Amino acid sequence: MKNKEKGKTALSARNPYQPERLETREAYINLNSTHWSSSEPEKKRKEKKMRASIKRPPTPDADEEQDRQPNLQEVINMKLIESGEKERLKELLRERLIECGWRDEMKSLCRAFTRKKGRNNVTLDDLVHVITPKGRASVPDSVKAELLQRIRSFLASAVP
Give me the number of domains the chain comprises: 2
pLDDT at residue number 11:
45
pLDDT greater than 60 at residue 153: yes
pLDDT at 22 over 70: no
| 139 and 78 assigned to the same domain | yes
152 and 86 inside one domain: yes
Within-domain flag for 93: yes
Residue 10 pLDDT greater than 50, yes or no: no
Beta bridge partners of 3: 10
3-class secondary structure, 21? strand
Q: What integer pLDDT is reported at residue 85 of this predicted model?
A: 94
Residues 41 and 93 in one domain: no
Q: Distance of alpha carbon 150 from its chain centroid, rounded?
A: 30
Once rounded to an integer, what is the mean pLDDT over residues 45-50? 56
Domain of 142, CATH number, reads 1.10.246.140
Alpha helix ranges (H) inside the chain:
25-32, 40-53, 62-67, 72-83, 85-99, 102-117, 124-137, 141-158
Same domain, 137 and 77: yes
- Domain of residue 8, residue span: 3-50
In a domain, 46, yes or no: yes
Would you say residue 126 lies in a domain? yes
Pair 76, 39 in one domain: no
- Is pLDDT at 24 greater than 50 in this prediction? yes
Residues 24 and 82 in one domain: no
- Mean pLDDT score, 7-22: 51
* Residue 136 within any structural domain of the chain: yes
- In percent, the amount of the chain with pLDDT more than 70 equals 58
Q: Which pLDDT band, with edges at 50, 70 and 90, does 50 fall under?
A: low
